[in-house]
Amino acid sequence: MVTKLADMTTYEVAQIVARARCVVLVPIGSTEPHGPHLPLGTDVLISEAVTERAAALLVQQGVDVLIAPSVAYGVTDYARGFVGAVGISAHVMTALLIDITQRLLDDGFKHVCFVNNHLEPAHDEAVRAAAGHFAHGIVSVACPLSRRWARTLSDEFKQGKCHAGRYETSLVQAAKGRVLPEATKLPPLDLSLSDAISAGKTTFLEIGMSEAYTGSPALASEEEGQELLERLAAMTVTEVLEGLAAREARS
């Protein structure tokens, strides 16, 4: 049975962490604009949906799993100029995750996985810096920015046109999040975030994303979102199992 950490009592958690293979998944996202059609909490909504599916799959493989409360703030420098972009500094993000992880490890969890779907480069670096603070196998990062996982996702994602576009809008639909009717009326925007970042652009506005989206949100579908959620869940399961194997090999 998959259970959320925040819903349990201290005594129930103590029973879980006493077992040999207990892990905790930490959904990570951001609070920032995602076009005129998706909520500010889009990234964390996606991470929460992924962790729920991944946790169910891990339980089938004999892993005891709890889902920690979400970290809903991240590094959101690219969203500067838009109302609702509530971000924190990269060093604060790293320190926050290190402290959370250390407490979880002190409680007895064998492995912690950061499930991150906010893809701003500085945010990803901050998350990975927190993971790197711990010994190999203790903390993993499940994030589609990794090349091995990016190649398993949609063409729009691979092209870097996926902020509030077809990719994320489909995922929000599959996660039963709020998608406004404006999504079906938005014209496609052929702007690659990855190319713009490589070219030195530093904000959505500078890139030309005047409505904080790129890609083709009008082409989104719940069916595509379900498929993407399954792939992101498989990514998370693999990262956790590889992490557990690395830790157990050192024991």
Q: What is the DSSP string of 86-106?
A: ----HHHHHHHHHHHHHHHHH
Q: What was the pLDDT predicted at 251?
A: 72
Other Cβ atoms less than 10 A from the Cβ of 230: the count is 15
Q: What is the pLDDT along the chain (251 residues), one digit of tens a residue?
A: 669 999 999 999 999 999 889 999 999 999 999 999 999 999 999 999 999 999 999 999 999 999 999 999 999 999 999 999 999 999 999 999 999 999 999 999 999 999 999 999 999 999 999 999 999 999 999 999 999 999 999 999 999 999 999 999 999 999 999 999 999 999 999 999 999 999 999 999 999 999 999 999 999 999 999 999 999 999 999 999 999 999 989 87
- Return the pLDDT at 250: 82
pTM of the model: 0.97
CA atoms within 13 A on the CB side of 2: 17
Domain boundaries, the chain: 3-250
Tell me the backbone φ, ψ of residue 79, rounded to 5 degrees. Answer: -90, 10
The third-level CATH classification (topology) of the domain covering 3-250 is Rossmann fold (3.40.50)
